[in-house]
Amino acid sequence: MKEEFTGIVRQVLICRDDNSIRSQDEEEVSVTFEGFVGDKHYGWTKPSDGRTKFYPRGTVIRNSRQVSIVSREENDLIAAELGIKAINPAWMGANLLLEGIENLSSLNPNSRLFFESGVVLLVTEENHPCSTMSAEIARQFPEIPQLSEKIVRASMHRRGIVAVVELPGKIKKGEYVRVTRA
């Protein structure tokens, strides 16, 4: 029997700038089979990068990272370990901040997120921390030297997950989400 959890969407975010990791708050987002409309990760394909080392960089491959999802609980753990008040999901390039889903980053591939609106997202993998995210978070705390060096370690297995769209529609801030663990 599959394990189920229920949570709530606390933030909906879109990253419109191809040259930045930072996303921006929205009240709702239109979701198609290609991802979140307007987001820089929108599309069926993407160029390969450092995460897909078995292809030459820039090779066009299937996009398995359409949506980035983080949890309030895991963000709070990262912030506490770093000794800072909070981490804004926008600094992580997240598209969704969920609350009430313990250990979100440990969801297996093929777990599903069923949103109250009808949208369904299919988990593809854990989202590992990166230096771009670390630099953006550290930029917010210039008074803390060497913070950037600590962020990747503190956010390992806590940065959330990435997913693809299985059923499109709209996702709104404040709606409930049911998660089934594969």
Express each pLDDT in 167-180 by its tens digit.
999 999 999 999 99
Residues 32-46: tens digit of each pLDDT: 999 999 999 999 999
* pLDDT over 90 at 3, yes or no: no
Helix/strand/coil (H/E/C) assignment for every residue in the chain? CCCEEEEEEEEEEECCCCCCCCCEEECEEEEECCEECCCCCCCCEEECCCCCCCCCCCCEEECCCCEEEEEHHHHHHHHHHHCCCCCCHHHHCCCEEEECCCCHHHCCCCCEEEECCCCEEEEEEECCCCHHHHHHHHHCCCCCCCHHHHHHHHHCCCCCEEEEEEECEEEECCCEEEEECC
pLDDT tier at 81, thresholds 50, 70, 90:
very high
With cut-offs at 50, 70 and 90, classify the pLDDT of residue 101.
very high
> What is the rounded average pLDDT of the residues 104-120?
97
Domains of the chain with bracketed CATH: 4-180 (2.40.33.20)
Q: How many CB atoms neighbour CB 143 within 10 A?
A: 5
- Cα(138)–Cα(56) distance, integer angstroms: 30
Q: Average pLDDT, stretch 150-174?
A: 97
Mean pLDDT over residues 132-145, rounded? Answer: 94
Tokens standing for 182? 């594969």
**Structural tokens at position 140:** 């917010």
Q: What percent of the chain has pLDDT over 70?
A: 99
pLDDT tens string 124-138 = 999 999 999 999 999
